[in-house]
Structure 1
Amino acid sequence: MARILCIDDEPHVVTLKCAILEAAGHTVTPSSSAHDAIEKLKTNEYDAVVTDWRLGDANGRAIVQAAKSHSSVPVVVVSGYVAEAFQAAEPLADLYLEKPVNPEELVTIVNELLKTSERSA
């Protein structure tokens, strides 16, 4: 279905999110740092980005900014720090979800954002 970049600095969390999205039929590329994710955004095309906010080497704002600067790709922030993420300066992610996220909710939201993105393309 869609190509999704999934970023989290906790290995078990990124593995779990990738498995959830792959089970829904998506092709998912994992990333464990903001630096790695930004490099992947520069060299690959993705249909959506799912990212944590607090990452070891940076915060999710850098990822949101990189994703939005390359295209109108939908970005979902899944974090225990949603209030902090939501108060960050522009650009804003398309949606903020509090950890731990319900797997069905994550899939539903990503699929809806992908549909909306396809219609506006």
Structure 2
Amino acid sequence: MSTILLVEDNPHIMKINAEALSMYGYEILQAATARECRQALRWHPVDLVVLDIMLPDGDGVELCRELKEQYHTPILFLSALGESRDVVEGLRAGGDDYLAKPYDLEVLAARIEARLRQERAKSRHISYGSLRLDIFAGCAYLGSANLQLTQKEFAVLLLLVRNAGRTVSKQEVLMEAWNTTAEDDSRALWTLISRLRRKLNSQESRIEISSKRGDGYTLEQI
């Protein structure tokens, strides 16, 4: 269940939005001021903030800038100020979307759903150069070509991508793929790394797995 923080000083609008979004299956947190918003985020991780621009103790645009410096949470602005200047200011401050009052509750729910879907898609993939890994599906692509990795190959490549440019020790790789650091599995590790290199080279990529004097492996762009 996704958690939405509503920041709205109008109790009537807050009640309507909270009840409507609860019916869509969201957990709702409420804040009527910038101060309450800060407190809520300090104690509760949220998936999205619906932020009114006009708050009794501050400017929502400035609050957005502050929040974006501390959190990666997407922010959807709500405001009765529908002029393009306010839209531009809100988006330049780091806002991810904007909805002017009055608005349809179904539109609000659809905007929230779309933004959360985009956030999930971003967390699903990790890229390094032309290499892209789909963490949910366990697939790796060079451009549009599927590298057809085994489960262990994918686990090792994902470890190397997450530590790109850093030497990953043999023990770390063995633990990731075989859940052991036993030297008896070093031959299997060498074979796996060789297969990964061949698959990367088959697509003429500029990405290679280099060995570091027997200490481990590093994923690099050449």
Please confirm whether the aligned pair reaches a TM-score higher than 0.5, indicating the same fold. yes
Which of residues 88, 93, 100 in structure 2 aligns to 1:91?
Answer: 93
Contact 1:42–1:70 at 8 Å: present in 2 too? no
Report 1 or 2 for greater relative contact order, CA contacts < 8 Å, sequence distance ≥ 6. Answer: 1
Which is greater in Rg?
Answer: 2
SS at match of 1:49: strand
Q: Which residue matches 1:62?
A: 62
Which of residues 112, 115, 120 in structure 1 aligns to 2:114?
Answer: 112
Q: Which residue matches 2:42?
A: 42
Structure 1, residues 60-98: CA drift from partner, whole Å, max 9, x if none? 123322432233211111110143532437422111111
Change (3 A) 1:77 1:112: same
TM-score of the two chains, using structure 2 as the length reference: 0.51
TM-score of the two chains, using structure 1 as the length reference: 0.90
SS at match of 1:45: coil
- Deviation of 1:54 (Å): 0.5
Q: Which residue matches 1:81?
A: 81
> Quick check: 80-89 or 19-28, which moved more?
80-89
Aligned AA (2:116): L
Contact 1:49–1:76 at 8 Å: present in 2 too? yes
> Quick check: 67-76 or 15-24, which moved more?
67-76
- Deviation of 1:15 (Å): 1.2
What is the 5 A alignment of 1:16-55? Answer: 16-55=16-55
> Quick check: 29-38 or 60-69, which moved more?
60-69
Q: Structure 1 residue 8 and structure 2 residue 3: aligned?
A: no
> Quick check: 80-89 or 45-54, which moved more?
80-89
